[in-house]
Structure 1
Amino acid sequence: MEGLEVEWRRTDSETLVHLYQDGKSHPESQQEDYHDRAHFFTDQIQHGNFSLRLDNLRAEDEGQYTCRVYSQQDSGKTVVQIKDIERLLVSGSSRSISASVGEDVTLSCSVDSHITSEHIDEVSWKKTDEDENILVLLYQNNETLPDSSDERYRDRVEFFTAEIPKGNFSLRLKNVRTGDKGVYMCQVFAGGLSANATVVLERLGE
């Protein structure tokens, strides 16, 4: 391993992803985007294995990566392609929702448009209290299951059915009660991925 240098770079931009030099890894030399995300398998280096582990994959990680090895006598390289990174983005409402008792209110939840509704396995709306999760409404296998709702929400909640094909799983909560105040979580499961968003319902006026 003496005199060996190994560098992983993005082929398109020559961005340095990870470097091994002078007998050790140099994470401080990584381009910022790869800080704390790109690692060698340190116990494998002694066997000449400089495979790269990339954590917390992002859509922008798609592309070609070149591993170049330099020794005193020679150099060599190999190229690896990362493609078709699947991602699941779910967004809710960044601001709290206010409502008065007896009103209807909409809690927002939308799924990133590149995932179509037929690829969505499940969407659950839950009210998340400190001690329990109350099931508000469930969507599974392309249908809404109103009977699954906790009795406190049964017959008061619905999806905007025509909006579901657009990835809109916002919830209409009808006839708001004082006990409805709290944090609601919209959790989405699609093709082995899961993501969630929260909405806060507060300041219930009379």
Structure 2
Amino acid sequence: MSRNALSIYGQATSPSYMSHTNMTSYVGHTTSLPCWALSHTPVTAVEWRRPQTSNYVFLSRDGHDDSGKQDPSYRNRASLVDSKVKNGDASLVLKDISPEDSGLYECRVKGSKSRRKRRGVLGGLPVSTVNLQVHLEQEMTGNRGDDLVLPCRAPRDAAVDAVEWLRTDMESGTYIFLMRDSIPDPTRQHPSYRGRVELMDPDLKDGNLSLVLKNVSSKDVGTYVCHTKTSGEREKRATIESKPISIIHLKVETPVVHITVYTGNSATFPCRAPVGTDIVALEWTRPDLEDNGYVCLVRDGILDPTRQHPSYRGRVELVDPHLKNGDLSLVLQNATRSDTGRYECRLSRQQGRQKRATIQTEPVHIIQLLVLESGDEEKEDEEKNQTLSTIPPEPRARQRHGLIGVGIAGAAVAVLYLVMFFI
């Protein structure tokens, strides 16, 4: 999952408000809370607040933010989607979400012709209410070799003495990362994570406990849990005993690159090893080849043709035979229609020679090659269109009809609001 995704289930559920929306977000994400002033009169003030609180979440007057009585926990985190409130868009952007942000939010607006008195907060019924639920548990997906940020946030204004990241499937007592009194503790850190993890903010400003996981691989798949200790008491045990404040289910995928060339041309298959990798062997394979022959195999810097498939002899070469800077890319020359297929790049970092003909590791990179004859442009366009077209014509027609219905209903609500707005 990408880091800003959220789920919205918005329905008008209460006759007391112009609109009500239920929303779901996750720790560390950015969320937009919807609010629309259904009036053609320019909006001069917008207020967002949580019921039964003395301070507001956000207040804007005449295009200027008013932080006088803003709740401190929302400072530098709350802003309008459009500071000028064009077209009546008074929606609020709430950054770096935490569990404490769960609850009900109310949006009120003031028009230039409103007769309401100028005061600290806007009176009247809300234009919009939003019920926000922030979940501790979320899924994330990354590509092999990427650096990922696993989000975690401590309660705001809490004095954090220690932060710990665990993986649920690892041996009890070992951890991914542990820091006590601002000092990382590697004593029982799992070896596979040494040198690959660090806090996004080592100073833990604003309670940011997010973890940076570098050069992810399939071995990193699992459930990650973030714990913190905010009391002044020291713990002698290796791990922190507290309720989790963030849970991440991590999946790691191998990126697939689609390449199209015409017969007789050359194709370059990109593949790169993580920076600093000591490469012992490199192999390019094609799963559908007979007798499990490979496309290209290099061991200790020497090309090994022993079981290279005959159709690729003399037609493949590495972009950099010395594999400098981790460049494992392959050039396929004089492409033919029979070269169409899936190509996989693997590497070995094990010292010593392997007896088996192929490298037994997961692919670092995958290439899907399509070779077309000259004059096949129309076929290529047709295949692209089939890939891009995900909505059949009939559902699209239904979507248009639905939008017309929503537009008519919206117009009726707008007329009602104009009457209420200036009373």
2-structure distance, mates of 1:144, 1:79: 48
- Does residue 1:52 correspond to 2:189, yes or no? no
> What is the TM-score with the length of structure 1 in the denominator?
0.56
- Residue number among 325, 329, 337 corresponding to 1:170 in the alignment: 329
2-structure distance, mates of 1:184, 1:128: 7
> Structure 1 181/13 Cα, relative in aligned 2: closer, same or farther at 3 Å?
farther
> Structure 1 175/56 Cα, relative in aligned 2: closer, same or farther at 3 Å?
farther
2-structure distance, mates of 1:160, 1:14: 47
Structure 2 equivalent of residue 205 of structure 1: 373
2-structure distance, mates of 1:147, 1:57: 34
Question: Does the CA contact (< 8 Å) of 1:163 and 1:169 recur in 2?
Answer: no
Deviation at 1:129, TM superposition (A): 2.1
| 1:30-179 pair list within 5 angstroms | 34=166, 36-40=168-172, 51-52=173-174, 57-58=192-193, 59-60=196-197, 77=236, 94-115=256-277, 119-129=278-288, 133-146=292-305, 148-161=307-320, 164-179=323-338
2-structure distance, mates of 1:149, 1:185: 14
2-structure distance, mates of 1:185, 1:171: 11
Question: Does the CA contact (< 8 Å) of 1:92 and 1:108 recur in 2?
Answer: no
Structure 1 equivalent of residue 162 of structure 2: 14
2-structure distance, mates of 1:107, 1:52: 40
Deviation at 1:135, TM superposition (A): 0.3
Gaps of 5+ in 1: 1-11, 18-33, 41-50, 63-74, 81-90
Figure out how many residues of one structure are paired with residues of the other and give that number: 144
Question: Does the CA contact (< 8 Å) of 2:318 and 2:329 recur in 1?
Answer: yes
> What is the TM-score with the length of structure 2 in the denominator?
0.29
Percent same amino acid at aligned positions? 19
Q: Aligned-pair RMSD on alpha carbons? A: 3.6
2-structure distance, mates of 1:200, 1:52: 40
Letter in 1 for 2:318: F
2-structure distance, mates of 1:147, 1:39: 42
Larger-gyration structure (1/2): 2
Structure showing greater relative contact order (alpha-carbon pairs closer than 8 Å, 6 or more residues apart): 1
Question: Does the CA contact (< 8 Å) of 1:188 and 1:194 recur in 2?
Answer: yes
2-structure distance, mates of 1:130, 1:174: 18
Q: Deviations over 1:76-116 (max 9, x none)?
A: 62669xxxxxxxxxx9864300011111110111111212x
2-structure distance, mates of 1:140, 1:92: 23
Larger strand percent: 1
Question: Does the CA contact (< 8 Å) of 2:337 and 2:371 recur in 1?
Answer: no
> Structure 1 93/103 Cα, relative in aligned 2: closer, same or farther at 3 Å?
farther
2-structure distance, mates of 1:96, 1:135: 20
